[in-house]
Amino acid sequence: MERCIKITIFCLIFCAQFSYAQAPKAPTEKEIRQAYNNNFGQKLLFFKPYDFPVEVERTHKVMIKALDPWVKLGLVNKKKTRFLAEKMMYGEPREVSVGGFEYSLNQDNMWVSDQGFFYGRPNIKSIFNTSKVSPQNEDYVCEVYLSWYAVDIPDWLKKVNLKDRKHRDLKRALESEKRPFEKYVYFIYKEQRWQVWGKKSEESLFK
pLDDT of residue 55: 92
**β-strand 116-130 against 45-47: which pairing, if any?**
antiparallel
pLDDT of residue 199: 73
The percentage of the chain sitting over the pLDDT mark of 90, rounded to a whole number, equals 67
| Termini Cα distance of the chain | 59
Q: Domain residues of the chain, as ranges? A: 26-48+115-206, 54-112
Q: For residue 10, what are the CA distances in angstroms to 3, 7, 18, 19, 70?
A: 11, 5, 12, 14, 71
State the Rg of the chain over Cα.
Answer: 27
Q: Which amino acid is at 175?
A: E
Centre a 10 Å sphere on the Cβ of residue 170 and count the other Cβ atoms it contains.
24
pLDDT band for position 68 (50/70/90)? Answer: very high
pLDDT band for position 19 (50/70/90)? Answer: very low
Query: 65-99 burial by CB neighbour count: b if 16+ within 10 A, else e?
Result: ebbeebeebebbbbeeeeeeeeeeeeeeeeeeebe
pTM for the whole thing?
Answer: 0.78
